[in-house]
Amino acid sequence: MDLHTLMLKTWSWRFLTALMLATTVAACESAPSNPTATAGGDSAVASASRLDTIKSRGKLICGVEGTIPGFSFVDSSGKYSGLDVDTCRAVAAAIFDTADDIDSKIEFRNLDSTTRFPALQNGEVDMLARNTTWTLSRDAAGGNGLEFGPTTFFDGQGVMVTKASGITSFKDLGGKAVCVETGTTTELNLASRAKQAGITVSEVKFQDSNATFAAYQEGRCEAITSDRSQLAAKRTSLPTPDDHVLLEDVLSKEPLGPVTINNDSRLFDVVRWVTYGLFQAEEFGITQADVESKLQDPNPDVQNFLGTTGSLGEQLGLSKDFMVKVVKATGNYGEIYDRNIGEKLKIDRGQNKLWTDGGLMYSPAFR
């Protein structure tokens, strides 16, 4: 890698963007109006929802990242696993009213960060479950024009330290060296949090995330900061993962969740309530293993939730007992988390606990 490549990596994109702007004036001007136009047409006739397209097609096309262990990852046999992947499975189980061989009802598409939104807007995929941070400009009609479902993973910038360093909280970082990747919001967050905490840290900044991790591994820095999920994933590849701990402190907000297109309430409501259902199932203590026996649960809320009584599912355009199929297919949120993030990446649930346990996972009422 020479200087040229270094510069290419970061700067040429900006030049390119500027050039593209010059040459594709027409495309730029019409792009934001595209999704609103088609989606407006959809909502004019209530039945013309993407949901019907999915049902008649018999497959849900779900956009995922595909290379992040714990979130969405394809193994050598082509099988997908991860928290995002299970979100897709839950939605598919609800729509197709079955828990058996759910992967045959889903087509996963790997999307990178630049193609994910166009793919959704052009209808190449029905929904995204792809490590996408919920921000205003992505949500708003004047921005990317998307709908964000419930957050399935509260990510954020974290700090990893060696156990030997004796650092247990962010405040202990005063006077210590911290490895950080330059040119990201990460270094800005670190500087402002350090100032808030009244400590000074000595930052060692690298252009490249591999160099950053190498320097941390060599002991140049007592700590390293990056997104918590990334730190956890990298920790698994360190020679002795158990010697490193992620601090509880979170330096920024990165809520990740499923995404659908604007102005398609029927599909969006399904995605939203299926995801909420995963939280609610955990709150009720309904698991993949005992969902059948919970059908006889005397609690009227549980009976409503599982569709033994009432017609909640039908109001969404699904079957009455859609949540039974969902939980059978993927388990509740806690099971999904433990299976993908807890066991593989060893990230404590922290903010991702249920609200009843002091976390942020909260489902509105199923009634």
Partner 1 sequence: MVQANPGTEKVALWRDERFWKIIFQIVVVGILLTIVAIAINNMNVNLARQGRQFEFKFLIDRAGFNIGETVLPYKVDDPYYWGLIVGLANTLRLCLVSVVLATIFGVVAGIASFSSNWLLRKLSLVYVEVLRNTPPLLQFFFWYVVVFFGLSSKGQVTRLTDFLLISKKGIWIPWPAGNIITALSLGLLLAGAIAAIVLWRSRLKRMEEEGASGRPQRNALVVIGVICLGLFVFGLQWVFPKPVGGGNDVVGGLRMSLEYGAMMMGLSAYIGAFIAEIVRAGIQATPTGQWEAGRALGLPDGHLMRLVVLPQALRIIIPSLNSQYATLIKNSSLSLAIGYPDIFSTAQTTLNQTGRAVEVVLLMILTYLTLNVIVSFFMNVLNQAVQFQER
Residues that bind partner 1 in the complex, under the rule CB under 8 A: 1-3, 6, 10-11, 14-15, 18, 21-22, 28, 164, 177, 179, 182-184, 187-188, 190-192, 194-195, 201-208, 211, 214-215, 218-220
Nearer to partner 1, 203 or 301 (CB): 203
* Closest separation in Å from C-beta 166 to partner 1: 11
Nearer to partner 1, 11 or 362 (CB): 11
Nearer to partner 1, 132 or 212 (CB): 212
Q: Is 78 left (phi over 0), alpha (psi -120 to 50) or beta?
A: left
* Closest separation in Å from C-beta 25 to partner 1: 8
Nearer to partner 1, 113 or 122 (CB): 113
Query: Dihedral angle at the C-alpha atoms of 132, 135, 138, 143, nearest 10 degrees?
Result: -160
Task: Name the β-bridge partners of 67.
Answer: 73
* Closest separation in Å from C-beta 268 to partner 1: 30
Give dist(CA 352, CA 211) in Å, integer: 30
* Closest separation in Å from C-beta 8 to partner 1: 13
- Of 70, 4, 37, nearest to 263 by C-alpha is 37
User: CA 25 → CA 18, 124, 234, 339, distances in Å?
Assistant: 11, 24, 41, 47
* Closest separation in Å from C-beta 250 to partner 1: 19
- Of 186, 172, 179, nearest to 202 by C-alpha is 179
* Closest separation in Å from C-beta 130 to partner 1: 23
Nearer to partner 1, 28 or 289 (CB): 28
Nearer to partner 1, 10 or 236 (CB): 10
Size of the chain, expressed as the number of residues it contains: 367
Token pair listed for 320:
């009455």
Q: Are 111 and 63 in contact (CB under 8 A)?
A: yes
DSSP structural state of residue 172: G
The β-bridge relationship of strands 72-74 and 67-68 is: antiparallel
* Closest separation in Å from C-beta 131 to partner 1: 21
DSSP structural state of residue 182: T
Give dist(CA 221, CA 215) in Å, integer: 7
Nearer to partner 1, 222 or 249 (CB): 222
